[in-house]
Structure 1
């Protein structure tokens, strides 16, 4: 088989080399001529897979995307051509949740507030939104969920109204890109909605850039009327509105889900799907290729408070690193994509085992850390 793979899908050579001839391509630049002989096509979210891309190919059997989102895939076209399709739902939910947690810990310290004093509205309660909710809830943060499609589908969790979302102290967006239907998300936060937010609120977007009208946001920011902003995704990526950058507290180039562990999980899910499609037994797992983290064990001797939580979080991932680097490279030619392509290895909290008391292990596990029971030492007393 000819297996065509986006060059930025990690460990693809390790997983797929036994199954055919591998051809690697640039996800932004790939064209129909390049894919004429593909039997299998593996992409990321930056590649639009549609009739235009596949019009010259007459032999494609399987398409996979190493992402949770599928709005870049024309699934109806694939179905009409009897081409099997698979995505990687939930592969980077942990990574995105940890990005949000790192961002909020940074903002809490900088603006001198306690997270437990804030109400957080999570817009989109799927895999990623749920992962965010679980971590913030474990810290004692008051969270509300907004997701009308899930609510109508019978999800038994408690959901809030959109008016309650707009009244929350912090709003975190985790919805897919939906253009049509009863609940479209493109420009869900348009000028009229954005005008209802205040400078004391925080708005985070680590979902899709089109959810927020970036031009309307820029206009309000220039008037000093925008909330505190954390933006990982932008309209018109990679050619984003750079005039917006000075008004964004934390800015990154669509890397919230870019932990090594999350990305390899996506590769592994595609590998499993292809093996199932080919009716072959799986030979490999991510553990066969991914090395332990450089820092993988630590002991703590005090109760977890915001300061200690921030230290533990940022021992693994500090979003300020990515923000600073992004502001340096964004003006370079292809700076947005270059940073994504050369992104410094980032691990997830689960790669750090924390030795602590049994009372704290549950909290640590809910936050995503691995845990190990710390043995108590006997105290020596002089007689």
Structure 2
């Protein structure tokens, strides 16, 4: 079988489905992943066949540049005008709607790639409308995959605020321009990858609105590949604490929050692993002796030997410590970060604090609680064990293919 996977071009938006793509390929199916920008290289390094559906333009970089300039990106604006979609672009920009911009820029290329590849099935992430539109354009069945630990379109409160499966002005304009038939594609199942005690499923459930079945699936973390350093394989002599703000937060808000965290942890008897990627750390000054800056290092390289993870609340960054039974301190930034933080607090696997009001004493006190009070580690272990009992990506692929072949 030939399977087209589609996802938006952000680390936290595409990387969660990589294990599912691996499962399909390992089962002998032909796969192709349609995305754009830096994610094409990231996916290729993960051993996946990729296609860039918006080549020669870094939509992710343009999106971030636009957010930094009142939502306007001259490059994207010119491209939208060339496609006769200026009005839709302006509305998406003014509303701060990155997913609308992904839909505008990626749908046509994804349809073209789909026609060339000839898939039997489209697998798209819930937040990537281009995948839904390509399936409708090509008349293909869909497996929809949730890629968040923070929310799912299954959630009643989410549904109450969002008409997620209807057509907005952008999708209506694209349907007309690209001659996409009206109506949704044939979705035979939707995936919720969360543990049941964190909003997920213990067993299959029909969607209360359209009857489409929801399936549970185990979250398998993928943060990229790396040569694992020798120190990461050893249990440290003192508690190991990971720190990251992801790839977007430093661009948007700088390193002021990171400065507070580093000063707080620098005064504790812990080993700090600062995974700051490409972030410029010059403003932090000299790092404390117990802080090791490792640039980009996948969280899964050191989480098995960690005692605490301090982070911004990105969905993938929240889910990975759950897999490894590591308590968390979440300083949520924006987007769905506060939702991730709330789930962490509600389940008792960690603590959270508004980064705008977090000071050194507060962060240090919260970190000490998470390292010394056994309830947090116990709760994290419970969730990890719960996740391990959920269906694997491989079993979801097998079930999917069996249904299509009926």
| TM-score in terms of structure 1 length | 0.31
| TM-score in terms of structure 2 length | 0.30
More helix by share: 2
